[in-house]
Structure formats: structure tokens, C-alpha cells
Amino acid sequence: MVAERPESIPIAGGTDLLVHWPARVAEHERAYVDLSRIAELRSIAWKNGELVLGALATYWDVIHAGRMNEAYPLLVTAARQVGAVQIQTRGTWAGNIVNASPAADGVPVLMAYDATVVLESTRGREEVPLDAFYSGYKQMTKRPDQLVVAIRIPWREYDVAIFEKVGGRRAQAIAKVGLAITHSKAGWRVVAASVAPTVRRCPAVERLLNEGTPVRSPDDLLPAIERDVTPIDDLRSTASYRKRVMARLLYYDLRGVCPAFQ
């Protein structure tokens, strides 16, 4: 159906699409392709040393899947902070990826675990690392006829896994600053949300951590942060607040676990 009508809009949980429904009147005429009855997209499977989330896997499914808290604790931590129970039971991880909000909570933790997006159309299958999926605000490597069918997450031993969401309140908040940090044999991953047009990895901060550069205060992190992110002033916060909060979160989160942080 999507191949025949590439202008159609796939709908999974509908929790992003329906928020925009009253404002986007022009889209009411488009075809909506309901994915919710495609059982094959619903599974959560452990295969060949990786976790495969089907495109209809919800936050609630992940919170309640066995072994998740031991293997990928950040998925559970972030899922519990998405909206409230109503959103957690309907909202999907794939919908969070395609909605492409810079303030998303699911995308940062998936990116910190080196997730790959699996796309499929009648023309075949394609896999794109999530950290290469976005090219600008709401721009992504996905053709209109492609569906996200799964998210693949490799298994590694992680000795650091941290998720931070700074909002105006503790629940039902949109992040002013979000951070997901992991460390494994593959190195450091530092992923930031709400500080750039897309959720993005922070290569300058990651380099500093991988090289063990001494860090004696949050301000020592600011030059690297300024290379990695471009926050803006908006109704939720200011650019300067976002950068300073990001520096403090990184410093105080990593001081106990990273020997270079004194």
C-alpha cells in the first residue's frame, strides 16, 4: 500500500501524529496506513548477540520484557520517562525515530547503544546506523516508500550507562537538555538531545573522554561542548542555560566513573 501511494502516512501508536492533527488540516486528505495489526512488527527478539525491536515495540513492551534492565538499562530508564503510562503503552520506538524530534527521549539511548535502523520497501531492505540517520531538522535517510521494520541493537558489556532528562517537571515534560552516555570496549558514546536540530552524538566530548584529557571543572568541558552542539533560545530554555547544564551533568555524572575527571 505504501509503495502504491508514497504520499501516504504510516501510523503506529499515533501519539505524535494525532497531536498535530488539528493544526495540519492539509494532511487530513492523505491516506493513513495503519501498521498496528502487522503482527510481524510487534516482536522483541534476542538474535545472534543482539536485540531486535520490531517497529511496533512500545516503551511499555520494553519496560516489561525480560532481561532488559540487565542488558540495556537505559532503554528502561528512558521509557519510564516518556510521557506517562498512556503514552508508554501506545508510543513506539520506531515512531520516536521517524518523528525526529530534537527533544526525543528514545532516540538518545538507542544511539548511545549504537542502534541500527532497518528500513524496508518493495525494493528491498536497507540498514542505516542511527547516528547517521538524520541529516538536519526532521530530515532523515528514509524514502517515503520505506517503512522502519526493526531496530537492531548490538550486545556489549557496558560499565557506564547514564540517562539524564532535564525538564520543567519530573513527568510529562519535554527535555530542555537530554543526555545518554555509555562506555564499553567500543569506547565512549555521548549523545545529546534538545541542543541541536537533531539528537546527535558529541564527537569532541567523546574524543576528550577516549583520550583521557584531564577535566577539573564543568567549564573545562565547554570548548568541546561548543564544537558539538548548537542550542537555541526557545520557549523552553536558553542556549546558554542548555550548554551550562550539559557541562554540569557531564562533569558530575562522570566524576565518579572516569579517572580523568578530578
Residues of this chain that interact with ligand FAD (CB under 6 A) are 9-17, 19, 35, 55, 82-83, 87, 90-92, 94-96, 98-99, 104-106, 147-148
| Strand-strand pairing, 32-34 and 177-184 | unpaired
- Residue 117 corresponds to which cell in the numbers above? 535502523
Shortest distance (Å) from residue 171 CB to ligand FAD: 8
Shortest distance (Å) from residue 27 CB to ligand FAD: 10
- Residue 192 corresponds to which cell in the numbers above? 545529546
Between 106 and 231, CB nearer to ligand FAD = 106
Shortest distance (Å) from residue 118 CB to ligand FAD: 10
Between 3 and 186, CB nearer to ligand FAD = 3
Shortest distance (Å) from residue 61 CB to ligand FAD: 11
Shortest distance (Å) from residue 144 CB to ligand FAD: 9
Shortest distance (Å) from residue 84 CB to ligand FAD: 7
Between 95 and 218, CB nearer to ligand FAD = 95
Between 24 and 216, CB nearer to ligand FAD = 24
Between 109 and 161, CB nearer to ligand FAD = 109
Distance between alpha carbon 213 and the CA centroid of its chain, in Å?
27
Shortest distance (Å) from residue 63 CB to ligand FAD: 13
Between 98 and 162, CB nearer to ligand FAD = 98
- Residue 220 corresponds to which cell in the numbers above? 573545562
Instruction: Please give the full DSSP string across the chain, using - where no structure is assigned.
Output: -TTT-TT-EEESS-TTHHHHTTT-GGGGGS-EEE-TT-GGGS-EEEETTEEEEETT-BHHHHHHSTTHHHH-HHHHHHHHTSS-HHHHHH-BHHHHHHHT-TT-SHHHHHHHTT-EEEEEETTEEEEEEGGGTEEETTEES--TT-EEEEEEEE----SEEEEEEE-SSSSS---SEEEEEEEETTEEEEEEESSSSS-EE-HHHHHHHHHT--B-SGGGGHHHHHHH-----BTTB-HHHHHHHHHHHHHHHHTTT-TTB-
Rounded to whole angstroms, how far apart are CA atoms 139 and 5? 20
Between 87 and 232, CB nearer to ligand FAD = 87
Residue number closest to ligand FAD, CB atom? 95
